[in-house]
Amino acid sequence: MDLRKKPEHYKIQPEWAAIDPIPVITTPKYGEMCAVTLCEQFKIQSQKDVKQLAEAKDLAYKEGFYNGIMSIGEFKGQTVEQAKPQVRRQMIDAGLAVAYAEPESEVMSRSADVCVVALVDQWYLDYGEKEWKAIAQK
């Protein structure tokens, strides 16, 4: 919506933002265009309406995941809850995506330090494992 209202502010061509979204999920409560419906319902005018956007996002994600039905593509007719892991696996297997996770808010340690969270391959030492401990002591 912001891009369409102020393309010059975002330094884009107006026609770039003129493309209408393609509905991919239908929900009983919000229809085919959940985000549009909720933006109208909450009277969201721009991305600066942070509180309303957060609430709308929560409602959209819950309704879409638990009650949404895929309306196009290979998984058409399936619930989003059923289709999501299949789409994820398909995209990862095809090399079009990687597994990614991110905390939704700031993470604090018990010592009140801000933490940087990363999903990485890690290994841990089992300090109680006898064979390893004997090698380390030797």
How many structural domains does the chain have? Answer: 1
CATH number at residue 30: 3.90.740.10
Host domain of residue 92? 2-100
Q: Is residue 75 part of a domain?
A: yes
Q: Is residue 46 part of a domain?
A: yes
Runs of H (alpha helix) within the chain: 2-5, 34-41, 50-67, 80-93, 130-137
Q: Is residue 122 part of a domain?
A: no
Q: Is residue 107 part of a domain?
A: no
Q: Is residue 60 part of a domain?
A: yes
Q: Is residue 45 part of a domain?
A: yes
Residue among 28, 61, 58, 56 at smallest CA distance from 44: 56
| More confidently predicted of 13 and 127 | 13
Beta strands 114-115 and 25-26: pairing type? unpaired
Give pLDDT, residue 116.
85
Q: Is residue 120 part of a domain?
A: no
62-103 per-position pLDDT tens digit: 999 999 999 999 999 999 999 999 999 999 999 999 988 788
Q: Is residue 119 part of a domain?
A: no
Please tell me the pTM assigned to this model: 0.69
